[in-house]
Structure 1
Amino acid sequence: MSTEPETTEDAEPGTPTGGAETEGTQGDAAGSGEVPEGGGTEGDAAGSGEVPAAEGAEGDAAASGEVSEAEAELRAQRAVRERIEQRKAEKKAPIEAGTKLSGKAADLLAAVRAVESGEKPVATVFQDPEPAPRRSAPEPVRRPQPVSAEAAAASTAPAPAAVQAVRQVLGEGGAPEVLAPQVAAALGEGADEQLRADPWQLLRVAGVRPEQADGFARALLGAECGPDDERRGRAVTVWLLEQAALAGHTALEMPALLAALAQRGVPDPDSAVQDAIAEGDALVFQDALEETGAAPAPAGEEDTEEDEERPVRVLAGLERYALAEESLADGLARLVNSVPKQDGSAEDWERVAAAAQGSTGELLRAVAAHGLVLHTGGEASLTEPAALLTAAHTLGLRAWAATHGPIGRTRFAALLGRQTAPGTPSTDAHSPVAHSPVTTVAGLLSGAEGPGRDADGALDLDLLVVLDAPQLDVETAALLTESLPDGARLVLAGDPGVLWSVGPGRVFADLLAARICPQVASRQPDPGPLGELVSGIGIGELNQVEAPGKEVVIVPVRDAGEAVHRTVQLVVDSVPRALGVPAEETRVITPGHGGAVGTRALNAALKERLNPGPGRFGGFDPGDRIVYSPVPGRALPGRVVKADAEGLHLSCEGEAVVVPKERVEQSVRHGWALTAHQAVGSRWPAVVVVLPGDAAQALSRPWVYTAFGRADRHLSVVHGVEQALARAVAEVPAKPRTTRLPVLLAPQISG
C-alpha cells in the first residue's frame, strides 16, 4: 500500500468531529431505542445493520391501475405470509395474533423526524452433525397464485375521517399531529379509541420512543398514568422485541428481555412479558440446548427423567418472525429430504462435471444429487455458479439466478453471457440483462422479473441459484423456499465474510453451521493486491500489500474537515487523473449517515463539486446520483432524470422509476457516498472508504471486509482511525444474532 501522492493542496481548516451517527439497522426509519445488553448485530456502528435511511414503502398506485415493483413485491409477500399462517394453523392450535405493525417505511421515517425533531442516533437494541439420509418429499402443497395488478392497486391508506380522529387525540396529548396517518394505519379501525384507551399504543409507530409515549400518556391520563401500568409494560415489551428485530435477532432470550424491561423502568418485567404473551403480542419458545460431552443413552433405555432435566433456553419473539423462521425450516427440510427431479441423466451430469475443473466440478456433482447446496467464495468464485447455470441449460433445466441488487444482476448477467453455450438464454451487447436468466431477489418474488409462476403458484423453474446469500433475512428466505416447486434444486451462494442481512436472521451463516446439506468452497482466490488485501481481512489480518499500480492507496487525515476535503479531492481529481477512472464510476463508503463525515455531509460536498444546483426538485437536480429505497432493506442506485407533475423520474440501472413527490423525501437519498450495507452486492471500478476518527467504534471485521471488497480496480482509504482499523480487523468479529433456525431444522432433517 502507498500514500496518496496525487495532490498537494492544503487541507481545509478542520471542523470539530462530532459524534458520528452511524447507520442504524433500518437507517433513519428504524427506531433508535436501546436493547438488552449482549444483543446487537454484526453490522456497523454499535452493531446495527445498515439500510438507506431514506427507506420508502409501498408507493401509491398510479391512476391508471399500474402497480409499482415495490407494491407488487409487498403484495406477493403478504399473500405468501397468509398461506404460511394457514399452514401453521393446520399443524397445531391456532395462534391468536396480536396487533401488528403496518410498517410503511416511508411513513415511519416521517414519524422519526416528526417525533424526534432531528436526526436520530443509531439503534443499539439489543454443532456440526453429519447430514442425515434424505427421505421422501412431503405431499405437494398448493401455493398461492401471484397477486394480480388489479388487486394490488387497491388502496390501503386509512380513511380521512379516521386520520382526523387520530389527529385530534394526538393534539390533546401534545404529540405531533403529523403522526396521525401512521398511527391510523398502524392501529387500524377505531385507532382513535384505541389510542385513548391505551396511549402507549403510540409505540406501534416506528421511531417513537418509550419516553415520548410516556409523555403522551401523562397528558391524556393525568393521575392515572404510572410506570406500573400494565398497558405500558406490554407496549414496551413489544417495542423491545421490535428493536431486537431491527438489530437482526428473530427472538430474544428471556433474561435479556427482562433486563431490558427493567432498564426501561418497568417495575415487574415478568408480568409485562406474560401480559404481552396473553394478548398475542408476543410468543414464547423453549428450545432444547445441546449438552456438550454427554454420552448417548443406550438403545431402548427409558430417558424420560433425562429429557425433563435437559437444559432449555426460553425466548420471546414476534409472531411475524416466528412464522417466517418456522416456514423457512419447513421449506429447507423439504428441499433436503426430497429427491431432485432427474432432469438429465446421472451420466449427463457426470459428463459436464468432468469437463469442469476443480471446485466447479464439485459444485455440479453436488447439485446433481441434492436439492439444497451451499457455495462459498469471493468475487472470483462467481464463475462457478455461472458455469453451473450454463451446464444446467445444456441439460434442459429451467435454471435462473437471483442477485441482491441490480448492479450485481448486471455484472453476473455479463459474466454468464461470456460462458453461455449456443442455443441457451444469453445476453446481448446492448443489454446484458435483457435476455439473461438473471433477476434480483425482489424482482423474482414480486413477479416483475424472472420465469413467472406455474398453475400452483410456484416459481416456474427447476434450479434457482441465489447469489449474495448472506443478505437473505428470514422472511425473504422463507418466501423463496415456499415459492420453489417440489423437486426443484436451490443453491445458496455467497461470501460468508460480508455483512449479514439488514432484516432479522442470519440464514446463510446458520445453514453453514448446521451442515445439513453439501457445502462447496470455491478454490478461486480474488486476484491482485486488492484480492490479497481483502482475503487477509477475512481471516483477521490487515496486511500491507504491494500495489505497484496504485491499486491500494492510504490517505492519512487528522480531522473531519480534512477527511471530507480529501475524499472530494480523490473522487473529483486524483483518481480520474492518476488512474483514468471517471468520477461517475467511483463510490464513497463511510460508516454512517450522520455526523461530520457521514453520507449526508459527503454527498452535500460531492454534489457541490460534481453536479451543483439549487435542488429544485425536493433537494435534487437532474444528473444527481441517488439511492432509491422502495422498501426496507433495498437500495437501488440510480440517477435523477427529471421531475414533473408525476414525481421524480429516476433511472436505476437502466430501469425507469417514478417516485411521487410526496415520497421523495422519505425514499430517495443522494448516492455518491453510501454506507456499507447500501453498497453490499455491488462493485465499482474505484472505491474511496472513509474512516474518520469518530468511526472507530463502528468498525468490525465484516464491515471492513465488505467496504474494501467493493473495489474492482482501485481502493483509496481516507484513514483517520489510527490503530483502530487493524484492531477491528483482528479483534471485532460479527456480533451475534439470536435465531431459532438451527433448532427448528434439527428434528425435521433427522426425522
Structure 2
Amino acid sequence: MSTEPETTEDTGPGTPEGLETPEAPEALGQETAPEESGGGRGAGVEKNAEVSGDAGAEDAEVSGDAGDGAVESGDAAGGAAAAEGEGASQLSEAEAELAAQRVERERIERRKAEKKGTVESGAKLSGKAADLLAAIRAVESGEKPAATVFAEPEPAPRRPAPEPVRRPQPAPAALAPGAPAAEAVEAVRRVLGEGGAPEALAPQVAAALGEGADTTLREDPWQLLRIGGVRPEQADGFARALLGAACAPDDERRVRAVTVWLLEQAALAGHTALELPALTAALAQRGVPDPDAAVQDTIAEGEALVFQDALEEPGAPAPHEEDGEEGEAERPVRVLVGLERYALAEESLADGLARLVNSLSEEAAERWEAASAGATGGAAELARAVAGHGLVLHTGAEAARAEPAALLGAARAAGLRAFAVCHTPDGRRRLAALVGEEPEAAVGTVAGLLSGAEGPGRDADGALDLDLLIVLDAPQLDVESAAMLVESLPDGARLVLSGDPAVLWSAGPGRVFADLLAARACPQIASRTPDPGPLGELVSGIGVGELHQVEAPGKEIVIVPVRDAGEAVHRTVQLVADSVPRAIGVPPEQTVVITPGHGGAAGSRALNSALKERLNPGPGRFGGFDPGDRIAYSPAPGRTVPGRVVNADADGLHLECAGAPVVVPRERVEQCVRHGWALTAHQAVGGRWPAVVVVLPGDAAQTLSRPWVYTAFSRAERHLSVVHGVEQALPKAVAEIPAKARTTRLQTLLRTQVAAAG
C-alpha cells in the first residue's frame, strides 16, 4: 500500500512537505521526476514573463495609436520652444511673438485641410457605440443576418456557484389522489400566518391533514409536527401563538404529538420500535411532565402500538412447567412501542416468509432438478438449496454475485419463471453483464419491480408471475420494501436474498438481512469466492476487523496523508482531475469521491463545489446546476441514482440517469438533486466505480465505523485513493466500532413462527 502523496503539479496550497522519505513506497504517479516538476515551475515563470511582455507591448501600441495627434502637435510646439530657446539672445520680444503666431497659423491651416477631406463616420467612436455602428453596417451590407448580429452576447464567465446548502425542507407528504383544493390551502395558510409559521408549508399541511385541515390545525396546533422538518420547539411556539394561556407542557395534544414525533425520528435512524425506557427518557428530555402517562395516552388513542417480546438468552433452557406448579417459568421480556405502519410491515414480512417456507410445491420438481444439474461451482450448492427450500440466504462480496447470476441463468434455461432485482441501476447493469442472455427480461431493480415498470407482471390474483425471485444487495432492503416483495410472491415460489452482510444497512427502518441471518430460520449459503487482487484483500480484512498493509504493485491502493480539511480538498481535486487519469488511466467521469457527510470543510458540499470549479465551471444558472454537471438524484428517501444535468426549462431540471431521461420539477430540485462528484457512503452503497477517492478529514474521526469503511473502500473496482487525515482513528474504527444497533422485532417474530411450525 503506497503512503507517499502524488505530486502532479507545482507545490501549492495543501501539498504536504517532508513526506518524500526513502523508505516510503512509491506513490501514485510518482514517475514524474523532480526535474520535471522543477521544469514545470520554470516553464511557468517563462510563460509569465512572456505574458507580461506581450501585455507591455500591447499597452505601448495602444498608447501610440491614441496619441498620434498629440505627437504631431507636440512636434510643432517643440519646434517653437527650440527656436525660442536658441535665439532668445538674438531676437527681440516682438520678433519672438511673430514667430509663435506664424507657427500657430500653420497648425490651424493643417487642421482646416484635414476637415476638408472625407471623414469616415464613426471613426472617433469606441466601446459599445463603435460595436453598434459596426453591427448596423454589417446588416446593411448583407454580410450578416440581423438575428446573429444583434443576438445577445454570451454572459461573462462568473465564478462557479458552490454546492447549494440544503435547508431543512418539509418532507413531501403522502398525497391523497388529487392535490388539495386551492381554497383549503389558502385557509391553512391563514392559520399558519396567525401562528407565525412559514406559510410555504400550507400545501403540505393541507395534504397531510386532509379535509378541514385549517380547523384541525387551529384546534390542535401540535399537528404541525406531522410535517417533516418541523421540530417540537417550533410546534410549541406555533401553539403558544394560537392558544395563548391555554398552551401548557402537559397538554394531552402536545404529549401525543411529541410521542409520535419521537417514534418517527427513531424510524429515520433505522429502528422499527423503541424500548419503553428509551422512549420515556426521550419524552422527559422534551419537557413532558409525565412520560409514562404520555405513552399510555398515545397507545390508548391508537397512534402507537405496544409489544412484549420474550428475550432469548444464549444457553437458556426452553420454558417448561414446574412440577406441582401451573404455568410456564418466567422469561424476561422487553416492552416495545412502535408506529403501526412499521409494526404491521414487520409482522406481515414474518408471516409472508413463513408462508413461503411452508408452501413448497412438487409441481416443478423436475425443472428444479434440471436447474440444479445445470449449475456448477458455488452456484450448484445454491441451486440445490433453492430446489428444496422456499427461502435461502446467500452471502458474499462482489465476486460472489456470479453465483446468483448463474442460478438465474440455470433456472431460466430449465423453464422456470425467474427474475432478479438489485438495489440500484448500476447493480442491475453489473448483474446483467454476468447473466448475458436477455438481461432486460431477467434483471431489474427493487423499485422497478414493485412499481410494475420492470419484471414479469402480475397474475389475476395480483401476485408476481414468478417461480423464483433473487434479490441482490439484500442488506439495503428496509422492512416495508421487503414486506411488499414477499407479499407479492405466490405460494410455492422461491426467494433468494443475496448480499454482503458487512456493508451499511438500509436507509429505511429495519435490518431485514441481518435479522434473517441471526434468526437461522432457513438455509444460509456462504460464498467461498473472494474478491481478487489487492483491493479484495484489503476489503476482506476490513470485514473481519483488520486493516492490513496490502502490497499494491499496480498502484491499486494509494494513501495520501493530509494535515487539514483545506489540504484534503486540494489533494482530492488533484487526484480526480490529474493523478488518477494520468497514472491509472481512469477519466474523472468514472471516478467518484466518497466522504463521511455533507457538511464540514471537507464534506460533500465543499468537495462538489471544488470539483465543479475544476471539472465543469459555470455560474450555476439552474438552481446551482449547469449542463454537464454530475448529480445524485434521490427520487425517494434511501434511493440515490447518479446522473448528469442535460438542461432546464419551465418544466424543471432535465437529467439523464442510468440512460433514461428524468425531469425534476423546479420546486423539487433543492430536495432531490445534489452535485454528484462527491457522495456519502450511504449514497454510494449499491454502486461501483473504476476509481474511488475516499476522503477522511480530521473532523470525521468520530463518525467512522467498520461498516462505513468497508462500504466506502469496496466501491472501487480498479483503484482506491485514501485522502487520510484521521490518523489512528481509521484502524480503531475498523477494529472496534461495529454497526450502530437498531431496535427491531423481526428476529423475535421469525423465531416465534419457527416454534409454531414445530
TM-score by length of 1: 0.78
CA shift at 1:110, angstroms?
8.8
- Give a deviation string over 1:112-171, Cα, whole Å, max 9, x none: 2489xxxxxxxxxxxxxxxxxxxxxxxxxxxxxxxxxxxx99853222111111111111
Once residues 626 and 362 of structure 2 are traced to their aligned partners in structure 1, the CA distance between those partners, rounded to angstroms, is 52
Given that 1:593 and 1:600 are in contact with CA atoms closer than 8 Å, whether structure 2 keeps it comes out as yes
Once residues 286 and 347 of structure 1 are traced to their aligned partners in structure 2, the CA distance between those partners, rounded to angstroms, is 41
User: Match for 2:530: what amino acid?
Assistant: P
- Count of equivalent residues: 604
Equivalent residues in 2 for 1:554-569, closer than 5 Å: 554-569=559-574
CA shift at 1:612, angstroms?
1.1
CA shift at 1:669, angstroms?
1.1
- Give a deviation string over 1:289-332, Cα, whole Å, max 9, x none: 2244443466997874335x332111100001011001100110
- Give a deviation string over 1:44-98, Cα, whole Å, max 9, x none: xxxxxxxxxxxxxxxxxxxxxxxxxxxxxxxxxxxxxxxxxxxxxxxxxxxxxxx
Match of 1:256 among 274, 278, 282: 278
1:338 aligns with 2:359: yes
Match of 2:649 in 1: 644
Given that 1:238 and 1:282 are in contact with CA atoms closer than 8 Å, whether structure 2 keeps it comes out as yes
1:272 aligns with 2:318: no
Equivalent residues in 2 for 1:237-252, closer than 5 Å: 237-252=259-274
Equivalent residues in 2 for 1:697-708, closer than 5 Å: 697-708=702-713
Once residues 326 and 7 of structure 2 are traced to their aligned partners in structure 1, the CA distance between those partners, rounded to angstroms, is 74
1:305 aligns with 2:327: yes
Match of 1:658 in 2: 663
Match of 1:316 in 2: 337
Once residues 298 and 448 of structure 2 are traced to their aligned partners in structure 1, the CA distance between those partners, rounded to angstroms, is 36
CA shift at 1:593, angstroms?
1.0
User: Match for 1:611: what amino acid?
Assistant: N
3-state DSSP of counterpart to 1:392: helix
User: Match for 1:12: what amino acid?
Assistant: P
1:325 aligns with 2:346: yes
Given that 1:114 and 1:178 are in contact with CA atoms closer than 8 Å, whether structure 2 keeps it comes out as no
Match of 1:468 in 2: 473
User: Match for 2:179: what amino acid?
Assistant: A
Given that 2:322 and 2:328 are in contact with CA atoms closer than 8 Å, whether structure 1 keeps it comes out as no
User: Match for 1:324: what amino acid?
Assistant: A
Match of 1:86 in 2: none
Change beyond 3 A, Cα 1:407–1:114: closer
Match of 1:572 among 573, 577, 593: 577
3-state DSSP of counterpart to 2:409: helix
3-state DSSP of counterpart to 1:166: helix
User: Match for 1:188: what amino acid?
Assistant: G
Once residues 356 and 695 of structure 1 are traced to their aligned partners in structure 2, the CA distance between those partners, rounded to angstroms, is 45
The higher relative CO (CA closer than 8 Å, separation ≥ 6) is in 1
Match of 1:691 in 2: 696
1:725 aligns with 2:726: no
Match of 1:199 in 2: 221
Given that 2:475 and 2:513 are in contact with CA atoms closer than 8 Å, whether structure 1 keeps it comes out as yes
Match of 1:380 in 2: 399
Given that 2:420 and 2:444 are in contact with CA atoms closer than 8 Å, whether structure 1 keeps it comes out as yes
Match of 2:73 in 1: none
Match of 2:36 in 1: none
3-state DSSP of counterpart to 1:630: strand
Match of 2:83 in 1: none
Once residues 728 and 560 of structure 1 are traced to their aligned partners in structure 2, the CA distance between those partners, rounded to angstroms, is 20
Match of 2:514 among 493, 505, 509: 509
Once residues 162 and 471 of structure 1 are traced to their aligned partners in structure 2, the CA distance between those partners, rounded to angstroms, is 39
3-state DSSP of counterpart to 1:217: helix
Match of 1:441 in 2: 446
Change beyond 3 A, Cα 1:181–1:346: closer
Once residues 684 and 308 of structure 2 are traced to their aligned partners in structure 1, the CA distance between those partners, rounded to angstroms, is 38
Change beyond 3 A, Cα 1:303–1:426: farther
1:188 aligns with 2:210: yes
Given that 1:111 and 1:206 are in contact with CA atoms closer than 8 Å, whether structure 2 keeps it comes out as no
1:395 aligns with 2:395: no
Match of 1:742 among 742, 747, 751: 747
Which runs of 5 or more structure 2 residues have no equivalent in the other structure? 16-164
Once residues 323 and 494 of structure 2 are traced to their aligned partners in structure 1, the CA distance between those partners, rounded to angstroms, is 40
Match of 2:182 in 1: 160
- Give a deviation string over 1:485-514, Cα, whole Å, max 9, x none: 111110000000000000000000000000
- Give a deviation string over 1:659-689, Cα, whole Å, max 9, x none: 1222222211111111111110100000000
User: Which ranges of 4 or more aligned residues in structure 1 deviate by more than 3 Å?
Assistant: 8-11, 152-156, 291-305, 346-351
3-state DSSP of counterpart to 2:636: coil
Match of 1:430 in 2: none
Once residues 310 and 446 of structure 1 are traced to their aligned partners in structure 2, the CA distance between those partners, rounded to angstroms, is 43
Given that 1:337 and 1:749 are in contact with CA atoms closer than 8 Å, whether structure 2 keeps it comes out as no
3-state DSSP of counterpart to 1:410: helix
CA shift at 1:655, angstroms?
1.1
Change beyond 3 A, Cα 1:208–1:527: same
CA shift at 1:340, angstroms?
4.2
CA shift at 1:252, angstroms?
0.3
Given that 1:11 and 1:562 are in contact with CA atoms closer than 8 Å, whether structure 2 keeps it comes out as no
Match of 1:222 in 2: 244
Which runs of 5 or more structure 1 residues have no equivalent in the other structure? 15-108, 116-151, 418-424, 428-434
Q: Which has the higher helix share?
A: 2
**Please, which moves more after superposition, 729-738 or 646-655?**
646-655
Given that 1:336 and 1:516 are in contact with CA atoms closer than 8 Å, whether structure 2 keeps it comes out as no
Match of 1:290 among 274, 298, 312: 312
Once residues 163 and 324 of structure 1 are traced to their aligned partners in structure 2, the CA distance between those partners, rounded to angstroms, is 32
1:633 aligns with 2:634: no
1:112 aligns with 2:168: yes
3-state DSSP of counterpart to 2:635: coil
User: Match for 2:11: what amino acid?
Assistant: D
1:711 aligns with 2:716: yes
Match of 2:533 in 1: 528
User: Match for 1:5: what amino acid?
Assistant: E
Given that 1:237 and 1:276 are in contact with CA atoms closer than 8 Å, whether structure 2 keeps it comes out as yes
Match of 1:53 in 2: none
3-state DSSP of counterpart to 1:345: helix
3-state DSSP of counterpart to 2:653: strand
CA shift at 1:644, angstroms?
2.4
3-state DSSP of counterpart to 1:287: strand
User: Match for 1:723: what amino acid?
Assistant: Q
Once residues 559 and 569 of structure 1 are traced to their aligned partners in structure 2, the CA distance between those partners, rounded to angstroms, is 16
Once residues 312 and 400 of structure 2 are traced to their aligned partners in structure 1, the CA distance between those partners, rounded to angstroms, is 35
Structure index of larger Rg:
2
User: Match for 1:211: what amino acid?
Assistant: E
CA shift at 1:182, angstroms?
1.5
User: Match for 2:308: what amino acid?
Assistant: Q
Match of 1:409 in 2: 428
User: Match for 1:399: what amino acid?
Assistant: A
Given that 1:114 and 1:176 are in contact with CA atoms closer than 8 Å, whether structure 2 keeps it comes out as no
User: Match for 1:426: what amino acid?
Assistant: E
User: Match for 1:326: what amino acid?
Assistant: E
Given that 1:372 and 1:517 are in contact with CA atoms closer than 8 Å, whether structure 2 keeps it comes out as yes
Once residues 676 and 547 of structure 2 are traced to their aligned partners in structure 1, the CA distance between those partners, rounded to angstroms, is 28
Once residues 301 and 391 of structure 1 are traced to their aligned partners in structure 2, the CA distance between those partners, rounded to angstroms, is 56
CA shift at 1:618, angstroms?
2.1
User: Match for 2:168: what amino acid?
Assistant: V
Match of 2:97 in 1: none
CA RMSD in angstroms comes to 2.1
CA shift at 1:264, angstroms?
1.0
Change beyond 3 A, Cα 1:591–1:298: closer
User: Match for 1:333: what amino acid?
Assistant: A
Change beyond 3 A, Cα 1:450–1:303: farther
3-state DSSP of counterpart to 1:629: strand
Match of 2:379 in 1: 360
Once residues 323 and 435 of structure 2 are traced to their aligned partners in structure 1, the CA distance between those partners, rounded to angstroms, is 56
User: Match for 2:431: what amino acid?
Assistant: F
Once residues 509 and 502 of structure 1 are traced to their aligned partners in structure 2, the CA distance between those partners, rounded to angstroms, is 14
Change beyond 3 A, Cα 1:620–1:341: farther
Match of 2:680 in 1: 675
1:451 aligns with 2:456: yes
CA shift at 1:12, angstroms?
2.4
User: Match for 1:747: what amino acid?
Assistant: T
